[in-house]
Amino acid sequence: MRFLKLAVLLTSLVILASSCSSGPVNIPDTAAPAEIVQRAQEASDRNRHNQALNYYEAILERFPSNNDYVCIAEYEIAFIHYKQKKYELSESEFRKLLARYDAPDAELLPPQYKILANIVIAKIDERKK
């Protein structure tokens, strides 16, 4: 009887651990960028940061010429790293994103990510003081 209880407990722990894992994601080749971003946001909301990063990286790989989605993905990747307290990496990624806004045709980029990136960089700078 004691062995059975232990087996049930161990099985429950394995199921719980696997349901909370943030392993690789399977993204259909036909997935639209909006769908991938939605899935990334859902993963991020559930603190499944590795899954969210995988989705955003897929955006960068699959849609490199779509400036709107590239800005979304780059911002969100940097913000996840900020939330993970990887401040140096996050700052570097935000600055890379901001460099896009100094390039020709920057007026075609979504302005909110420039604003948000500057806000987070200011918070990172404040932490350094």
27-128: CATH superfamily = Tetratricopeptide repeat domain (1.25.40.10)
Q: Which residue's structure tokens are 């394995």?
A: 14
- The average pLDDT across 27-39 equals 96
> What are the tens digits of pLDDT across the range 114-129?
999 999 999 999 998 8
**Domain segments of the chain: what residues?**
27-128
Largest CA distance in the chain: 72
- Closest to 127 measured CA to CA, from 76, 96, 88, 97: 88
- Angstrom distances, CA of residue 53 to CA of 25, 40, 90, 99: 10, 7, 13, 21
pLDDT, one tens digit per residue, over 68-82 is: 999 999 999 999 999
Tell me the pTM: 0.81
